[in-house]
Structure 1
Amino acid sequence: TARVASAVLRGSYHLYQGVGGFLGNMVMGVVFVYLYRRWGRVGPLVVAHSLLDIGAFVGYALLAGKVGWLPTA
């Protein structure tokens, strides 16, 4: 269906993050499609995506070089 294709497309343009980035973003795409179909609003999804990106950026900045499992640039 179009929902699955949309989620796979979303995951595919995150393949540069590896398989985990692909799968995680594909799952997030499925969840976002479900929530959009339920609420009919894109605004909360934009806010959620922004908060996830901010959390990842800040988290990386705080943890880079302090934990062994996080790759450094």
Structure 2
Amino acid sequence: YAAILASALLRGAYHLYQGWPMALGNVVMGLVFAYWFHRTGRLGPLILAHWTLDAVSFIGPEVVPAEWLDALGVS
């Protein structure tokens, strides 16, 4: 469990350039992902989950209508 915690903290640390909230979110994601991998040994679902998060974060705002982004307060 020390390795899971250490890897999650490292993940959060290299996302600090995005700010504290994003770094904290990445620590949580690192804990979940590392625990999943420790329990199952499966990497594929984690790669798919990470890709999906990135696609929603980076591609989503480009294809969602501006009115929706304004309504959500993320424009």
Regarding TM over 0.5, the answer is yes
Deviations 1:11-64 (A, max 9, x none): 111111111110000000000011101111111101110011001112322366
Q: Which residue of 2 aligns with 1:29?
A: 30
d(CA) in 2 for partners of 1:6 and 1:63? 37
Task: Mark the runs of 5 or more structure 1 residues left unpaired by the alignment.
Answer: none
Structure 1 residues 14 and 64, CA gap change in structure 2 (3 angstroms) = farther
Percent identity of paired positions between Structure 1 and Structure 2:
49
Larger radius of gyration: 2
TM score, norm. by length of structure 2: 0.80
Structure 1 residues 64 and 8, CA gap change in structure 2 (3 angstroms) = farther
State the aligned residue count: 71
